[in-house]
Structures are given as C-alpha cells and as structure tokens.
C-alpha cells in the first residue's frame, strides 16, 4: 500500500535533504536508469527528462506532512528544499518500502550540480544510441546550455562510475 510514496520517503531519508526541484527530478531519473524501483514515468521536456507523476507524488507527500518543502527566494527564481518529517518517518515504519540500499549513489548524485545532472540524465535518456550519436544529440537538444566536450567526457566517466557502483 502506497509503495511508491514509501520509496520516495526512503530516498529523502537516505539523501538527508534535497535542494532544488530540477535536481530532485534528475536524481530520481538517474536512479531509475540504474534499475532502482521508481515507477514514475518520465518524458523528455525542455530541460531533459521530467516526470509530472513525480512532481505530483512529491506534492502529495508534502500535503500529507511526510516531507517538508521550504521555499527560498533566490531573486530570479524560487528554490525548494525537501526534508523528511517525523510524520514521514512514522509512515515508513508502518508502510515499509522495498528500495534497495543506494545511499552511495544518492551521495554521489547529490554532490553534483543540477546543470551536470541535467547533462547526465539527458545522456541516459538517449542510451539506445551509440556514444557519438548521444554526443551529437546533446549538442542539438542542449544547444542553449552550451555543454563543453570536457563536460560530456566527465559525464561519461560519472555514468560509468554509477553503473560500476551498482554492479558491485
């Protein structure tokens, strides 16, 4: 019962707190691509893979008081910070989740900027293409973000590191 909600609460516990909605979206997408059991459906949007389902589920968790959402005014935009509440911890005691241990991956992802995670998640979105085609695609669909060849190289290395971590 409410297994998908429970998995997200577990994720927030493991992450301690997450700053930024874009970062949150990209982290869940990348974890899903690592075969972790997140059921939210993603589609490609202007800023890469995005899930309306995830957005709504987070809103539900906030409305239920399981996760707190703090809004910070950054001048040009609003930034949101998500943290699990005591009610969220109590919910998880009664409605257990089945999320495998992935604290290391979460820590790795959390340490990256949302701009970098946008690149990584977009590369993973095109993972049915050969690497050179993926890079071509990045320059096409992310022209305005202007990722450098070094950024892309670092993203490949990061993806390998993540996949390696899941294997072991």
Q: Can you give the binding site for other proteins, defined by CB under 8 A?
A: 1-2, 4-5, 20-22, 25, 39, 41, 43-47, 50, 52-53, 55-57, 59-60, 62-66, 77-80, 87, 91, 94-95, 125-126, 137, 140-141, 143
- Considering the complex, state which of residue 46 and residue 148 has its C-beta at the smaller distance from other proteins: 46
Check residue 111 and report its DSSP letter.
T
Least distance in Å: CB of 37 to other proteins?
Answer: 11
What whole-number distance in Å separates Cα of residue 19 and Cα of residue 64? Answer: 20
In the bound state with other proteins, the residue whose beta carbon lies nearer, of 74 and 168, is 74
**Rounded to the nearest whole angstrom, what is the least distance from the CB of residue 14 to other proteins in the complex?**
21
Q: Give the H/E segment covering residue 124.
A: helix 114-125
Which residues are CB-neighbours of 81 under 8 A, at least 6 positions away?
Answer: 17, 18, 19, 20, 69, 70, 72
User: Rounded CA gap, 110 and 15, in Å?
Assistant: 8
3-state class (DSSP) for residue 88: helix
Q: Are 78 and 67 in contact (CB under 8 A)?
A: no
Shortest CB 168 distance to other proteins, Å: 26
Least distance between other proteins and beta carbon 41 (Å): 7
Beta carbon of residue 25, minimum distance to other proteins (angstroms, whole number): 7
Cα–Cα distance measured from residue 24 to residue 7, given in angstroms and rounded to the nearest whole number: 14
Specify the residue, 113 or 161, whose C-beta has the smaller distance to other proteins.
113
Q: Which is nearer to other proteins, 77 or 101 (CB)?
A: 77
- The residue among 144 and 148 lying less far from other proteins, judged by its C-beta, is 144
């Amino acid at each position: 019962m409410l297994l998908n909600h429970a998995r997200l609460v577990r994720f927030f516990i493991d992450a301690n707190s997450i700053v930024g909605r874009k970062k949150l979206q990209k982290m869940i997408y990348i974890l899903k691509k690592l075969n972790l059991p997140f059921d939210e459906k993603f589609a490609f949007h202007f800023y890469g893979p995005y899930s309306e389902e995830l957005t709504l589920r987070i809103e539900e968790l906030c409305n239920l008081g399981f996760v707190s959402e703090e809004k910070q005014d950054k001048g040009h935009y609003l930034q949101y910070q998500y943290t699990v509440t005591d009610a969220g911890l109590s919910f998880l005691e009664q409605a257990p989740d089945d999320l495998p241990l992935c604290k290391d991956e979460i820590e790795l992802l959390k340490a990256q900027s949302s701009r970098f995670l946008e690149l990584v998640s977009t590369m993973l979105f095109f993972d049915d293409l050969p690497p050179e085609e993926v890079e071509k695609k990045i320059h096409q669909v992310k022209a305005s973000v202007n990722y450098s060849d070094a950024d892309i190289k670092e993203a490949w290395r990061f993806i390998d590191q993540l996949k390696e971590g899941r294997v072991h």
